[in-house]
Amino acid sequence: MSRLTALAAFIALALSASAADAGWMFGFGEVTSNSATNVAIGESQLSMEVIELRRSDRVRIKFYNVGPDASSITDVYFDDRNSVFSSIRSIQNGTGVSFSEGATPKNLPGANNLLDPFQTSLGLNADSDPPVEINGVNPGEVLGITLNLAAGKTFWDVISGINNAVLRVGLHVQGFANGGSESFVNVTPTTPDGPPIVPEPTSLALAGLAIGGLLIKRRRKPDSESAEA
């Protein structure tokens, strides 16, 4: 295999991986403010990653609690006003985490504190199994939720919905050192601290054409050199 062919194969593999696995990162801001200390912990430790999967009919969202301060994500809610999602497909529990579909309470605690109240969409919520704080997302742990996209919707509708605040994700967090609890909602990204740019299908296609052109040029070069000789 020539160096150019190997390079093209590597680039194609990298593009394929980035299209399937690259994620957009979002932080969280307060909904309730029961304790300034707890709010600061949540806003500094909690984030979510929205991931495009190879199966175009679903999207995975991972929730992180990077720590180190005591806190536990115990409930996850989706306010999906444009009906991007049809349902929760599956839940991926990281080590130490145990979540199931359906949350109690059914709406984000303190939802009316927002200027635009948070309203959980039917069936789009999940919470940790008892004991809830132990089985929640504690420091260093991760939770994944895979959601089915509604007919005609794409990964980019999800990203657009988050950026335009018509798709919001709420977290109820317990297990703080002082025994308190807080609610948070995702914040939209701002340049230059926004999420990474994920290649769209059009960009991938153009990159593929460029690789193909390089290979064709490489194959033709010996013939042209022979003609000149």
User: How far is 80 from 157, CA to CA, in rounded Å?
Assistant: 11
- Residue 188: its pLDDT value, please? 79
User: How far is 172 from 174, CA to CA, in rounded Å?
Assistant: 7
Name the strand (E) or helix (H) holding 228.
helix 201-228
- Residue 191: its pLDDT value, please? 40
DSSP 120: P
Q: Name the CA dihedral angle for 192, 84, 183, 98, rounded to a multiple of 10 degrees.
A: -110
* CA distances from residue 67 to 35, 71, 179, 186 in whole angstroms, order as listed: 18, 8, 16, 18
> In a structure prediction context, what are the per-residue pLDDT tens digits for the chain, which is 229 residues long?
555 444 444 444 444 444 445 699 999 999 999 999 999 999 999 999 999 999 999 999 999 999 999 999 999 999 999 999 999 999 999 999 999 999 999 999 999 999 999 999 999 999 999 999 999 999 999 999 999 999 999 999 999 999 999 999 999 999 999 999 999 999 976 443 444 444 444 444 444 544 455 444 445 444 433 333 3
- Residue 189: its pLDDT value, please? 67
- Residue 22: its pLDDT value, please? 61
- Residue 115: its pLDDT value, please? 95
CB atoms within 10 A of CB 198: 18
Q: With contact defined as beta carbons under 8 Å apart, do 72 and 63 qualify?
A: no
- 3 state SS of 131: coil
Name the strand (E) or helix (H) holding 132.
helix 132-135
- Residue 211: its pLDDT value, please? 46
